[in-house]
């Protein structure tokens, strides 16, 4: 999500509950693991290509604070 005067956000839904786990390609223990790993690799490639992009996980208790503080 790109917004004027704010850092870009990528909402990943159920891909992870903790964005910090993406770098290690750790995926949830449920669902299609191979697809989750492929999606995680794609997110990591996007993060490398888009400096400043912040990942927001839907089930992360800190997500609301991250979005609220994404104005800088």
What is the C-alpha to C-alpha distance for residues 42 and 45, in angstroms, rounded to an integer?
5
Tokens (6 digits) for 61? 């208790």
Residues in the chain: 72
- Model pLDDT, residue 13: 82
What does the pLDDT profile of the chain (72 residues) look like in tens digits? 777 877 889 998 888 888 888 888 888 777 788 898 999 999 999 999 998 899 988 888 888 887 777 554
Query: What pLDDT score does 5 carry?
Result: 79
pLDDT score recorded for residue 3: 75
The rounded distance, in Å, linking the Cα atoms of 38 and 27 is 10
């Amino acid at each position: 999500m790109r917004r004027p005067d704010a850092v870009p956000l990528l909402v990943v839904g159920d891909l992870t509950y903790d964005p910090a786990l993406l770098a290690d390609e750790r995926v949830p223990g449920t669902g299609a693991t191979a697809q989750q790993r492929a999606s995680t690799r794609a997110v990591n490639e996007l993060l490398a290509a888009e400096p400043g992009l912040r990942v927001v996980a839907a089930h992360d208790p800190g997500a609301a604070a991250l979005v609220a503080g994404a104005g800088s």
